[in-house]
Amino acid sequence: MSFLAHEDSHESLTSVPRRDTMGSFLPDSSAYELLTIIGRGLEDLMTVNLARYRPTGEHVAIRRIDLESCTNEMVNYLQAELHVSKLFHHSSILPYRSIFIAENELWVISPFMAYGSARDLISSHFTDGMNELAIAYILLGMLKALDYIHHMGYVHRSVKASHVLISVDGQVCMSGLRSIISLIRHGQRARVVHDFPQYSIKVLPWLSPEVLQQNLQGYDFRSDIYSLGITACELANGHVPFKDMPATQMLLEKLNGTVPCLLDTTTIPPEELTMKPSRSGADSGICEGPSTGGAHHSNGEPSSLGSHPYSRTFSPHFHAFVELCLQRDPEKRSSVGHRRLCLSCSGP
């Protein structure tokens, strides 16, 4: 897409009214010293830089999006995200400090989250999964964000560990608002929506059966609860259930009631506990579903081998939390508020 040909569209990206948090950060690229690249995304059209805000010396994160390479559809997609972000004022949702155009790039300034994403922590330090106390802390932050998002009438649709950021002082913030969708239609709150999230190929393992199925029944905020359950398994096991499974097979597994689980001494078959850890079926984190008649396994593998899953035991409360989140029938999934209550009462 030509930048000049779509100048009006690009200007509309920065026409979002400023939030209170944006006032002190200048919309001028010269005010920021780009340091190192800390991430990429949006089909490699986005580069995330660690930067220093020159007036104060504060470190920030800058998402730089190449608008010349974006299609009209992508520009509209980004514009919708920015317009949604202005509505959210919550400590558990990553704020935008400034939004502006720098030459042919859209710059989105946000606080620097020193510990990166929960996925980054898994990859670098917890390849066999985190301990239950750390997981409970992260999930509670996610639940606070989702409770607010759902109260505002939105469905996140991209809940996963890479969209959970952690600051140097331990603040947990949700990000990844590009796929968010409103349940408000013509001034009224709709019971369900049917739209399939754009650019969602990489998030398929986290999506609920009803989102993947795309039938007339649609889906609502409870689809985020399913994704929360998948994320809990991701944090606990160190890898994502259904990862690398063909999309059609993944859909069939989920529709048939195949249920991911936490890997520990209570879910790994006894005969495997006595064996040397290997890339066995237990490594997939998939348990027996109610309608499968047997165990189904994904192709997901942990990022490294280790004996940790063979010697740990998660609490019954944590197992029950994940099981309720991953119910095939959305009606059987608890609300965010109830999940928060259960997590607070049963946490370590």
Q: Are residues 122 and 107 in the same domain?
A: no
Full residue range of the structural domain in which residue 68 is found: 4-111
pLDDT in tens, 277-296: 544 444 556 665 433 333 33
Out of 85, 111, 137, a domain closes at: 111
46/67 Cα distance (integer angstroms): 9
Q: How many domains does the chain have?
A: 2
Q: Are residues 64 and 138 in the same domain?
A: no
Q: Are residues 173 and 300 in the same domain?
A: yes
Out of 94, 111, 128, a domain closes at: 111
Question: What is the pTM for the complete model shown?
Answer: 0.84
Q: Are residues 34 and 159 in the same domain?
A: no
Residue 64, H or E segment = strand 58-66
33/59 Cα distance (integer angstroms): 9
Out of 87, 111, 135, a domain closes at: 111
Q: Are residues 190 and 130 in the same domain?
A: yes
Q: Are residues 206 and 320 in the same domain?
A: yes
Q: Are residues 164 and 242 in the same domain?
A: yes
Q: Are β-strands 259-260 and 188-189 bridged in parallel, bridged antiparallel, or unpaired?
A: unpaired
- pLDDT at 111 exceeding the cut of 50: yes
pLDDT in tens, 163-198: 999 999 999 999 999 899 999 988 889 999 999 988
Q: pLDDT band for 86, please (50, 70, 90 cuts).
A: confident
- Which residue, 108, 110, 123, is CA-closest to 66? 108
Q: Are residues 48 and 124 in the same domain?
A: no
Report the first-to-last Cα separation within the chain, whole angstroms. Answer: 52
Cβ–Cβ under 8 Å, residues 261 and 183 = no
CATH number of the domain at 103, please: 3.30.200.20
Q: Are residues 106 and 136 in the same domain?
A: no
Give me the pLDDT at residue 287, please: 63
CATH number of the domain at 255, please: 1.10.510.10
Q: Are residues 92 and 140 in the same domain?
A: no
User: 44: burial class by Cβ within 10 Å (0-12, 13-18, 19+)?
Assistant: exposed
